[in-house]
Structure 1
Amino acid sequence: MKKKILITFAIIIGVLFLSVAGYGLYLYKSVADTASEIHQPIDREPTRAINIEEKEPLSFLITGVDSRGNDHKGRSDTIIIMTVNPSKQSVKMLSLPRDTRTEIIGRGTIEKINHAYAYGGVEMAMDTVENFLNIPLDHYVSVNMEGFKELVDAMGGVTVENAFAFSSGGFSFNEGEVFLSGDEALAYSRMRYEDPRGDFGRNDRQRQIVEAVIQEAAHIGSITKVSEILNVVGGSVKTDLTLDDMWDVQSNYREARHSVEQMQITGTGRKIDGTYYLEIPDEEVARVSGELRAHLGL
């Protein structure tokens, strides 16, 4: 009996395209167990129905939460919207700065967008981002950032293109192509004070790391790496996707990972009652919303 299968694990950091060449039926159980461990349904009516078999465009909310262990509470300091269009074989990624001032849906207050996760978990975060950008969010992936560095290490590190030299977290990063370990990737993605673009530069580096993980995951060729990755993912990731969902996404959407576009959003920072906010003009929100909606075929 043929013992090689294609195993796909499509949820790392939100990213839904982790493809691993199969190493035997026994590995399927490890994947299934991990998928069960990270599966966390949400108490939220879906905004729309998506037919994955017909390859309809999908959207995801990826949140990076600075919490420890399996505790996925706290503010979502990393907020990434990812849309996947298989017919165009493309992915669009947009980072929302955590200080973005908007209405927190479910509370009726105007606050920083990252407060939504702290108040009401991923459900409130999805509702708030949907309202802000006027787009549907079909699924979510939440990543514990403390475990994120272990994921990068399990993959053997990632390579990014650094725009300028800087130091952060006890590490120095040269301009140009840089290879990063887990600790280095975390420091690289968190730096903002030395960046003249502040949070916007930080967001770019976060998306760089996410894209690098996508590409590295698609070329995993070691059973040892697969086992390490599954162990890390089990304690660091939560998603509403089931194993069957992941399998279907992999089968129908994996080619889209070859074209990843990093979108930008701009605004103006100012203090209101002593609190710093980033205010994004309505026309800028409309521009970004229109681009994402078009990519989703809306």
Structure 2
Amino acid sequence: MAMNRSKKKQQKKKHPIRNAILITLGLLLVTGTAFAAFFYQTARVNIDKTYAPLETSKNQAEASRAISENKPLSFLIMGLDSRQEDLSGRTDSLMLVTVNPTTKQTTMVSIPRDTFIEAADGSITASNKINAAYVQGGAAASIAAVNQLLQLDIDHYVTMNFSGIEHLVDALGGITVNSDLDFKVDDMTFHKGENTLNGKEALAYVRMRHDDPRGTYGREKRQQEVIAAILSKIKSPQSLTAYQGILEALGGNVKTDLTWDQMQKIVLNYNQAFGNVVHESIQGQGQMLNSLSFQVVTEDEKTRVRNLLQEQLAQ
């Protein structure tokens, strides 16, 4: 059961949300011992399992050059609603991230999973929800849907099976979150305030939506909070003793079109940008279309978010 700590502690400064793979690689780069050499090889084996280029991916030489030249980058990070290691299923979470080493800023924009996407033939079905794109065509289709929504050209992608959160949290010995409401999920109770969670509880915490008056937006906030808590633990020296479990969780539950060499360059060249994270959300309006519930994003809101991102992607 999630534990509520009765005595309120002074709130700690939140660590910025970063890509789990990059944080793990960052640990490799600062560990300069014989132990680190073994750690490096173990990491390489597991991280190589995450590599999954797309036919639509940008030319690798061009992508590597952009990273080497410290150009701004964009990533679509997808949390998948799947318990299978093949990472099938719908996207349960969509976050568009830009990283600008010149402004030293990372911008993270959450996209509601029920966001309405127009079909080419004008039809309206459940497939018009942006989270259905992954079922239809994998990461490439999700990237195309977000590009269509915001008229962008996304550079890279990362997918993570949310069930992998269980393995990560358990490997780390649990995480601490600060819930802003009381609720129950099955036999698990979460109290308002500080809660210490194991892997199963962390997954339930990020999935809950119906008991939250904010609906999808409340769940997005909890997802970001859990990711931040995981990464805070990963960055701690104590995580080195749990490296095997961490890497196995990543290798079996993460896919990306980033190569090992590209990841290392990003860790080195974009580190300062990861220390300054701005959080945004696309704000939709709940509407019923053809008896289906959607979040419809106005053109003004699309323009606002697009301009925000394009400003960060400018040289």
TM-score range, shorter chain: 0.7 to 0.9
- Greater shift after overlay, 41-50 or 247-256? 41-50
Counterpart of 2:265 in structure 1 is: 248
Q: Distance in 2 between matches of 1:102 and 1:233?
A: 31
The TM-score normalised by the length of structure 1 is: 0.87
Deviations along 1:70-103, whole A, 9 cap, x unmatched?
A: 2212111111111112233322212111111013
Structure 1, unmatched stretches of 5+, are 1-9
Q: Which residue of 2 aligns with 1:181?
A: 198
Q: What corresponds to 2:118 in structure 1?
A: 103
Q: Residue 90 of structure 1: which of 93, 105, 109 is its match?
A: 105
Q: Alignment partner of 2:295: what SS?
A: strand
Equivalences, count: 286
- CA distance change for structure 1 residues 90 and 161 in 2, over 3 Å: closer, same or farther? farther
Q: Which residue of 1 aligns with 2:22?
A: 16
Query: 1:264 and 1:99 mapped to 2: Cα distance?
Result: 13
- Please tell me whether residue 233 in structure 1 is matched to residue 244 in structure 2: no
Q: Give 1:194 shift.
A: 1.1
Distance in 2, Cα, partners of 1:277 & 1:74: 19
Supply the AA of the counterpart residue of 1:230. Answer: L
Deviation of 1:215 (Å): 3.0
Q: CA separation in 1, counterparts of 2:67 and 2:144?
A: 22
Greater helix fraction, Structure 1 or Structure 2: 2
What's 1:126 paired with?
143
In 2: Cα distance, 1:121 partner to 1:209 partner: 25
Match of 2:80 among 65, 76, 79: 65
TM-score by length of 2: 0.83
- Cα distance in 1, alignment partners of residues 186 and 258 from structure 2: 34
Shift of 1:137: 1.4
Is 1:26 the equivalent of 2:38? yes
Query: Is the contact made by 1:269 and 1:276 (CA closer than 8 Å) also made in structure 2?
Result: yes
Counterpart in 2 of 1:113?
Answer: 130
Q: CA offset at residue 163 of structure 1? A: 2.4
| Equivalent-residue separation in structure 2 for 1:55 and 1:155 (angstroms) | 32
Greater than 6 Å deviation, 4+ residue runs = none
Q: Distance in 2 between matches of 1:68 and 1:287?
A: 35
Closer, same or farther in 2 for the Cα pair 1:177/1:135, shift >3 Å?
farther
Counterparts of 2:221 and 2:234 in 1: how far apart (Å)?
20
Amino acid at match of 1:145: F
- Structure with the bigger RCO (C-alpha within 8 Å, sep 6+) is 2
Cα distance in 2 between the residues matched to 1:241 and 1:261: 23
Superposed displacement of residue 146, structure 1: 1.4
Partner of 1:42: 54
Q: Which moved more, 1:113-122 or 1:199-208?
A: 199-208
The residue number in structure 2 matching 1:281 is: 298
**Aligned-residue CA RMSD (Å):** 2.3
The residue type equivalent to 2:44 in the other structure is A
Deviation for aligned residue 1:129 = 0.5
